[in-house]
A = this chain, B = another copy of it.
Amino acid sequence: MKIKIYYHHTDCGGVVYYANYLNFLEEARTEFLAAKGVSIKDQAVDGTMFVVARQEIDYKYPAVYGDILEVATLISGTSGVRVNFEHEIKNQEGRLIVKAKTVLVCVGKDFKPKSIPEQVLQMMTR
């Protein structure tokens, strides 16, 4: 997934603000799952939500205004209630900007963990 950097992504240090990469990761996960047929929106309507339980992120090189970033996403593993994502973000010159690991947990409307529905799990991991 490509992300173009605008003013609103940057800070007065002249680079992309560190929190904004988490927005990019959300977008990338959503599109990654959509490509596998899993709609986060439809799941939420059915009472199955995926919330971020843990984020690790290493900032390797700054991105700047006008950059076009490529966010690569994969699922590195799942358990009953968890899905582990790994991300790499590179800039238009192929330079590594960010490496990240995200743990999602499947929860119900009460925000309590519940097993990932079997069909969703199969779609995610195929």
Name A's B-contacting residues (CB within 8 A).
Answer: 4, 6-8, 10-15, 17-20, 22-23, 26-27, 30, 41, 44, 49, 51-59, 62, 64-66, 111
Contact A8 B11 (CB under 8 A): yes
Tell me how many chains of this kind the complex includes: 4
Ranked 5 nearest A-B pairs via Cβ: A19-B22, A10-B12, A8-B23, A7-B11, A41-B66
Contact A111 B62 (CB under 8 A): yes
- A78 to chain B minimum Cβ distance, whole angstroms, is 18
With contact pairs A54-B58, A57-B54, A57-B55 given, residues A6 and B18 touching in the complex (Cβ less than 8 Å): no
- A98 to chain B minimum Cβ distance, whole angstroms, is 10
